[in-house]
Amino acid sequence: MVEALFWPALVGYGEAAVAYASPRTSPAATWGVRVGWLAQTALLAAQAAHADGFPWSSWSGSLNLFVWLVVGAYLIWGCRPRFRLLGLAVMPLAAVLFVVARVGGGTHEGSGSAYGSLFLVLHVGFVLAAFAGFTLAAALAGLYLWQERRLKSRAPDILRLRLPPLASLERLTWRTVAVSVPLLTLGLAAGIVRLRRDHHGLDALEAVTLVTWLVYGGFLALRPAGRRAAYLALGGFALVIVVRLALSGSHFA
C-alpha cells in the first residue's frame, strides 16, 4: 500500500524531467514537479505512520528523504519559467536517485531505528536538508558557468535560449548556501554530541562531511564573486556526492 505511492511520485518527476526539455511543455513540467512532490510527501507520511520511529535511517531511506528535500528546495527557490533549465538539471537527477532509493528498499514501509527519533530528526533531517540546498546551489552554479561562457563566447543564440541573468544566478547560489550552512551546522552538532556520548571516533563519512562544512563555511566567509563562487559551490557539491554515494555505506552500516 505504502509503496503504491512511489509510482505517482516517479511519474510526476519523470514527466517533469522530460517536459522541461522544451519551453512549450515547461508549464506541464511544473505540474509534474508539484504532483510528484505531493505524492512523495504522502509516501513519506505513510512510511512515518507505519514505522515505529524514524524510518529513514538506512542509506536508501535517507536517499528517499534527500530527494524529497531537493525537490522541495527546487519548488521553493527555482520553480519558475525562467529557471526551466535548472529544472532540467534537477528533476532527472531527482528521478534517478528516487529509483535508486527504491532499489535499495528506501521506499518500503520501513521500520524504526535503534537511535531515538529526536536525534535522527535533528541529525539526519538537518544534514539532508543542507545537502539538498547544496545540490540546488550546485545546479545554479553550473547554470552560472554555462551562461557566463555563452556570454563570453558571444553565442548568437544567447537571447533565444534564455537562462536567468548572471546576477540572479549568483545571488540565488549564495542565498541557498547561506540557508544550507546553518542547517548543516545543526545537523553536525547533533551528530557530534551523539559521538561524544557514545565515545566513538570519526568515520570517513563524518570526516568528509566536516570538510564539506569547512568549504561552504569558507564560501560564506569569503563571499567570492563570479566564476570563483560557482567553482567553490561545485567543489563543495563534489564532496556532498562523495558523502552521499561513496561513503554512505560505512556510516549507515
Partner 1 sequence: MSLSVVGLSHHVAPVELRERVTLDLAAAAELARGLGDAVCLSTCNRTELYLWDIAEERAAATLEAAAGEPLDGVLYRLHEDAAALHLFRVAAGLDSLVPGEGEILGQVRDAYEAVTPGPVLDRVFRQALGVGKRVRTETAIGESPASVSSAAAALAAQVFGDLRGRRVLLVGAGRIGELAASNLVSRGAEIAFVANRTEETAHDLTRRFGGAALRLDEIPTRLGEVDVVVSSTGSSDPVLRAVDVPSRRRTPLFFIDIAVPRDLDPAIGGLGGCFLYDIDDLEAVVAETLAGRRAEAERGEQLVAEEAERFHTWRASLDVVPAIASLRARAEEIRAAELAKVRVSDDERRTLESVTQQILNKLLHLPTVRMKEAAVTADGVAYADAVRHLFGLDDERRP
Q: Return the residue of 76, 151, 207, 246 that touches partner 1, per CB under 8 A.
A: 151
Binding of residue 222 to partner 1 (CB under 8 A): no
Given the rule CB under 8 A, which of 37-45, 51-59, 155-163, 242-250 is the region that contacts partner 1?
Answer: 155-163
Q: Give dist(CA 142, CA 128) in Å, integer.
A: 21
Given the rule CB under 8 A, which of 50-58, 70-78, 210-218, 221-229 is the region that contacts partner 1? 221-229
- Residues 16-55 within binding reach of partner 1 (CB under 8 A): 23
Q: How far is the CB of 16 from partner 1 (least distance, A)?
A: 21
CB nearer to partner 1: give 168 or 185: 168
Q: Select 154 or 197, whichever has its Cβ closest to partner 1.
A: 154
CA trace torsion 96, 47, 12, 88 (10° rounding): -40
| Stretch touching partner 1 by CB under 8 A, among 3-11, 133-141, 144-152, 175-183 | 144-152
State how far the alpha carbon of 170 is from the alpha carbons of 87, 145, 200, in Å: 17, 10, 40
Among residues 69 and 140, whose Cβ is nearest to partner 1?
Answer: 140
For partner 1, the closer of residues 158 and 214 by Cβ is 158
Count the neighbouring beta carbons within 10 Å of the beta carbon of residue 157. Answer: 8
- For residues 43 and 62, is the Cβ–Cβ distance under 8 A? no
What is the distance between the alpha carbons of residues 161 and 171, in angstroms, rounded to a whole number?
21
Closest CA to 81 of 157, 10, 24, 145: 24
- In eight-state DSSP terms, residue 243 is I
By beta-carbon proximity to partner 1, the closer residue of 225 and 241 is 225
Residues 36, 12: contact at Cβ < 8 Å?
Answer: yes
Please calculate the CA angle 102-106-110 and round it to the nearest 5 degrees: 130
**Local structure of 1: helix, strand or coil:** coil
Select from 193, 202, 225, 245 the one that contacts partner 1 (CB under 8 A): 225
Q: Based on CB atoms, which residue is closest to partner 1, 150 or 251?
A: 150
Number of residues lying near partner 1 (CB under 8 A): 20
Per-residue binder mask for partner 1 (CB under 8 A), 160-189, x = binder? x-xxxxxxx---------------------
Backbone phi and psi for residue 212, each to the nearest 5 degrees, phi listed first: -60, -45
Query: What residues line the site for partner 1 (CB under 8 A)?
Result: 23, 147, 151-152, 154, 156-160, 162-168, 225-227
